[in-house]
Structures are given as C-alpha cells and as structure tokens.
Structure 1
C-alpha cells in the first residue's frame, strides 16, 4: 500500500478571517458602552434639573413632588404631609407639567362622578312589588354535582 501526500489548498487571507471576529467583538463592546454613556448622561441631566414643585417617579415606582434637594438627597412629598428622603440616583424620571395637569383634570372629573354616584342607590328587584303583597321565591337551579 502506498500513501500519497497531497498538498492542502491554501485559503489565502488566513489572517483576515481570524481578525474579522475580533473586530466585530470590539465594535459591539464600543457601541454598548456608548449607549450606556448616553443613558448615564440623561440620568445626570434629569437629576440636575430637579427643582422644588416638580413631580417625579423614582426607579422603584414611588410618585412624589420634590420639596427640596441637596447634594446627595431629594426630599419628596408622597402624600399630604408625608415626606420621604431618597438618593438622587433613585429618581427615574420627571413627569412633564402637561401630564400632571391632565391627571389633575381627570381626577376632578372622577371626583364629581363619585359625588353623583354616592347619592344614587341601586336596589335589586326583590319581587316585593306584587299586587297581593306576597314575596315570590326565586327559582333555584338544580345542583351541578352530587356529594358522595
């Protein structure tokens, strides 16, 4: 038996094929860090723009109005007379004034509807309005299962 040595075909540009995945990985890391940098800058701008009277939402979902700010903390009024102190980094976003005004008008309309509803009482028909004054029993449905 005789073995023959056949030379392998050269693919040419072997260095480029090894370098291409490395370039793609470096590019992905650069784009991801750039988007994180933009997000940190937006957060810093939001925190810097805080002023007393602004309505904010924290990252944990707490909604309040800014009472005062200092270097590290923000004091929020979450309910009438209830003040909470949070770290500035916990401020997720500032609610724009037009959204706050729209919520205020919606709250007022529901308060008026609630006042009208409190004077109205819905009473179910009890069957007591018969001419002879007797109460008619409501029919009962047969049981849907049997007990053993």
Structure 2
C-alpha cells in the first residue's frame, strides 16, 4: 500500500482576510464591552458626586436609606428612625426619585372641577369576617398555645 500526498486546493489571496476576521471580531467585542462598562462607571460616579443630605438611595446590597452626611470616602445613611449606617460611596447603587413630586402634580397645576367638589366620596363597608375555628391548631385543652411541636425529631444525637 502506497500513500499519495495530494496538495490541497488554495482559495487564492483571500486566506489572509479569513484568518484576520475572527481576530477583528474579538477585538471589536472587547472594545464595545469596555466602552459600555466605562459609561456605567461614569454614571455611577455622577450619581455619587450628586449626593446631598436628604436624598433617598438604595445601596448595591439592597439597603434603603436617606443620606445624612457625605464625606470624602463614606456616606452616612439613616435606614430607620435614629439608626445611622456608614457605607462606602461606591456602595451607593441608585438614587430613588421623590415619589411625592413624581406622582402628584403641584397644587397650582391642579384644575378643580366644581362638579367633582360637590360629590362626596362614598364609603364602602366590607363584610365582617367570621373567625375560623381550627381544631388542634397548637392549643392545649386549657386554651393556651403550646410551645413544642408534636412532630417527631428530624435527627438524633449520638
């Protein structure tokens, strides 16, 4: 048995472009992604730079609070009445717009219709709900709630 080497047919001068096409696509994708990330970083920097006391924000970890003080590296947030937390500026995710301004128009902008002012709102009564009596719902015979479960333990100790 004799093996014969047969030369491959070449496609001519276009082979250089075919080899460069995937490289050009990869470089283009990397450039586009870095450009998008740069825009996001700039937006984040603008948001942090515009923080003022009284602004309502959400941190990247999901904490919602009102800005009390802004330092060089930290922001002090009030997350509840009298509870202050200090977070890094980079942890500020986004600013929550004031709901009062966005949802209701200003008093000067509202147009009152005299026909609407004459009507009084009608109160709708909801039907009274009957208490549901569930037998053996964790109560003992004397009516007190039991602390322990009647189920067997899920594991044993050795």
Q: Which TM-score applies when normalising by structure 2? A: 0.61
Please, which runs of 5 or more residues in structure 2 have no aligned partner? 104-125, 134-158
State the shift of 1:26 in Å.
0.4
Q: Which TM-score applies when normalising by structure 1? A: 0.65
Match of 2:141 in 1: none
State the shift of 1:75 in Å.
0.3
Match of 1:8 in 2: 8
* SS at structure 1 position matched to 2:72: coil
State the shift of 1:97 in Å.
1.5
- Structure 2 residue 80 is matched with structure 1 residue 51: no
State the shift of 1:122 in Å.
3.7
Matched length? 111
Distance 2:81 2:102 in 1: 18
* SS at structure 2 position matched to 1:40: helix
Greater helix percent: which structure?
Answer: 1
* SS at structure 2 position matched to 1:50: coil
Q: How does 1:13-92 map to 2 (within 5 A)?
A: 13-92=14-93
Q: Is contact 1:75–1:84 with CA below 8 Å preserved after alignment?
A: yes
Distance 1:14 1:72 in 2: 55
Runs of 4+ with deviation above 4 angstroms: 1-7, 99-102
Q: Is contact 1:56–1:93 with CA below 8 Å preserved after alignment?
A: yes
Match of 1:143 in 2: none
Please, which runs of 5 or more residues in structure 1 have no aligned partner? 103-116, 127-148
Match of 2:148 in 1: none
Q: Structure 1's 100 and 7: CA in aligned 2 closer, same or farther, altered over 3 A?
A: same
Q: CA RMSD in A?
A: 2.9
